[in-house]
Amino acid sequence: MSLDIAPGELVALLGPSGSGKTTLLRVIAGLNAPSRGHVLFDGEDATDLPVQDRRVGFVFQNYALFKHMTVEGNIAYGLKVRPRATRPSRAAIAAKVEELLAFVQLDGLGKRYPSQLSGGQRQRVALARALAIEPRVLLLDEPFGALDAKVRKDLRRWLRDIHHRTGLTTVFVTHDQDEAMELADRVVVLNKGRIEQVGTPEDLYDRPASPFVISFVGEAVALPVDVAGGHVRFAGRELHVDTQGLLDGRARVYFRPADIAITTAGAGELEGRVENLRRTPAGVRATIAIDGYDQTLEIESALDSGATLGDRVPLSLANARVFQDHPTQTFPDAGEGI
Amino acid sequence: MSDAIADIRVRAPTPRVGARPVTQDAPLARLLVIGIAVAFLALFLFAPLAVVFVEAFAKGFAKFLTAFDDPDALAAIRLTLIIAAIAVPANTLFGLAAAWSIAKFSFPGKSLLITLIDLPFSVSPVVAGLVYMLVFGAQGLLGPWLTAHGVQIVFAVPAIALATIFVTFPFVARELIPLMQEQGTVEEEAALTLGASGFTTFLTVTLPNIKWGLLYGVLLCNARAMGEFGAVSVVSGHIRGFTNTIPLQVEILYNEYDNVAAFALAVLLACLALVTLGLKTVLEWRHADELAGRGGRRH
């Protein structure tokens, strides 16, 4: 795989377990060696550079704080182990530690040991420790994975803030797509050791490049269709989708639940039966069984859509994408559809 | 939760004082079991230990002290200390290296290595001594080569050191391997990313994390090194004043019916045992904390 990261970017490596995202991060850091290929920092080949010399700040999944050292000891470590020639004076190190403690909002906790801190606090110490060496790149491996939801939300906001203030090129690994979409300038979607797509969150939502991306990032419904001579047919009806570049044969049409609606005017591309109808603050939520599709979909609709329980309603599709069926198609564990 | 909690009356018979059939037996059974354990310990452990001290001072404190005027006894003490000073550091280094490789790397033959480390525990110490005789003895494998070069291994200090190293091989390694395996490599990786060299990482990150386990292993290794009899007996040649350690000297004195002197030296070993036991208990305390990952306490 090939990846270019611009200076100052905040990039997310997103993918399911086993997709290789942590391995990629470790290769950048120098903790794992690639079997082939190169890693370049600012154009220089760093592939053979040992991890100590790469000046990367790495924040591990479970923080990896030095448990027998105080918070101050942890943060100062990177500076204390420098060779005498480049090591700052003790006063300078102490000042830097104070500065970083304030930066991560842990003032006054310097003398504590990691076991005396909460998960969120430990995470911030790990970050401060990585920043102490003034790295060129900041790498975070599932930084918020081990924390509960509320703390995670706060820390996400905080990481975005830190990125603004430091301007460091940052790469972080996550399997949580909300996190990737919320934080990153660009997202790299990985699957089974390959890059599926690289793009901004908007690119991923609006222009997904493969069935995997559309199913992994956000929810998607996949309808099996037949392509013949530029026409796409599903359950005997024709769907209006872009068939550019498609070969005849089996394919799938992907769309998001928000892209299907009950048409009030005339015939729609699909038809379905209203199995259930529920009021929501904004309108109604209808559970529709689409003809030819074995799962039901929940569709949000306005109050005046005219749907009643048991009715057959026409449905229109927007933003649908067709992808050819390949025998080696891989899908996220959740499977296709909702 | 509903607010409508009714007034609930529970009707249950109150237990009558004195009528407790089931619980009555438990304290008795407990006392019995504890009693048996204590009796066993008293008979087989405390009594012999006490006898050592009693016999040593049987003819008075002055006679006890003359045992230490004997130059052979002093030589034995000196030799024991020298052997410990050789065997313990050697096995500590080996144990550290083995535990480090096993915990941090995977390599072919790893499980074989782990099994081999336990070998000295399963082999009889006499057999261990015999093996060294067969390799380094005059009729042994390397015998002719050693004689030709004027190197004396068996019936001299080198053989005693080797035999002691063999039997105390596993202590430090066995203590450290599970400890380091549990701790994993992640703190070391963090240190590397922060710019520390491999050696600095070892000194500043790995060692502090294993210090109690290491101390514990060293303590056990030392106790065994000083007290080893079987293997050392085979290779030493029992040359008074030169190749007798304290345990060997005790045997010689006892066989010569010099009870007080024998027990006087034995008192030294008994004291070593008690000190080891005490330190071991303290370390088990701290050690258990470390394994549980609670590092908050100032060490």
Q: How far is A67 from chain B (nearest CA, A)?
A: 6
Per-residue pLDDT band at B291 (split at 50, 70, 90): very low
Would you say A315 and A282 are in contact if contact means Cβ atoms under 8 Å apart?
no
Average pLDDT over residues A82-97: 91
Decide if B204 and A116 are in contact by the 8 Å CB cutoff. Answer: no
Decide if A60 and B189 are in contact by the 8 Å CB cutoff. Answer: yes
Q: For A192-202, write each residue's pLDDT tens digit.
A: 989 999 999 99
Decide if A57 and B193 are in contact by the 8 Å CB cutoff. Answer: yes
Instruction: Say what the pLDDT of residue B78 is.
Output: 93
Is B192 in CB contact (< 8 Å) with chain A? yes
Paired tokens of B285: 């305390």
Which residue of A67, A93, A113 to mutate against B (max B Cβ within 10 Å)? A67
Q: How far is A81 from chain B (nearest CA, A)?
A: 6
Residues of A with CB below 8 A from B204's CB? 77, 81
Q: Any alpha helices (H) in B119-258, and if so which ranges?
A: 119-122, 125-136, 143-148, 157-168, 170-183, 186-193, 198-201, 207-227, 230-236, 246-255
The residues that bridge with A300 in the sheet, in sequence order, are A285
Paired tokens of B134: 């067969």
- With both helix axes pointing from N to C terminus, report the angle between B125-136 and B157-168 in degrees, rounded to the nearest 10: 140
Distance between CA atoms of B149 and B58, rounded to whole angstroms? 50
Residues of A with CB below 8 A from B187's CB? 64-67
Instruction: Say what the pLDDT of residue A223 is.
Output: 83
Would you say B98 and B179 are in contact if contact means Cβ atoms under 8 Å apart?
no
Tell how strand A186-191 and strand A10-14 pair up: parallel
Q: Give the one of A30, A51, A115 whose C-beta lies nearest to B295's C-beta.
A: A115
The residues that bridge with A139 in the sheet, in sequence order, are A58, A171
User: Complex ipTM above 0.85?
Assistant: no
Would you say A295 and A285 are in contact if contact means Cβ atoms under 8 Å apart?
no
Residue A253 backbone phi and psi in degrees, to 5: -100, 130
Q: For A11-37, write each residue's pLDDT tens digit.
A: 999 999 888 899 999 999 999 888 888
CA distances to A212, B59, B245 from B237, rounded to whole Å, are 77, 31, 11
Q: For B68-107, write each residue's pLDDT tens digit.
A: 888 999 999 999 999 999 999 999 999 999 998 898 888 8
Q: Could you tell me which residues come within 8 angstroms of residue B223 by beta carbon, excluding any fewer than 6 positions away?
A: B272, B273, B276
Q: How far is B185 from chain A (nearest CA, A)?
A: 9
Is B114 in CB contact (< 8 Å) with chain A? no
Burial A213-234 (b: 16+ CB within 10 A, else e): bbbbbbebbbbebebeeeebeb
CA distances to A14, A171, A217, A320 from A209, rounded to whole Å, are 15, 22, 11, 12
Is B299 in CB contact (< 8 Å) with chain A? yes
Instruction: Say what the pLDDT of residue B3 is.
Output: 56
Would you say A96 and A79 are in contact if contact means Cβ atoms under 8 Å apart?
yes
Instruction: Say what the pLDDT of residue A35 is.
Output: 86
Distance between CA atoms of B130 and B146, rounded to whole angstroms? 17
Decide if A64 and B194 are in contact by the 8 Å CB cutoff. Answer: no
CA distances to A285, A308, B217 from A278, rounded to whole Å, are 5, 10, 69
Distance between CA atoms of B145 and B129, rounded to whole angstroms? 20
Instruction: Say what the pLDDT of residue B294 is.
Output: 38
Residues of B with CB below 8 A from A82's CB? 195
Residues of A with CB below 8 A from B196's CB? 52, 77, 81
**C-beta atoms surrounding B270 within 10 Å:** 18
Decide if B192 and A52 are in contact by the 8 Å CB cutoff. Answer: yes
**How many interchain CB pairs under 8 A, A with B?**
70
Interface of A with B (CB under 8 A): 29-31, 51-53, 55-58, 60, 62, 64-68, 77-78, 81-82, 113-116, 129-130, 132-133
A194: helix, strand or coil: strand
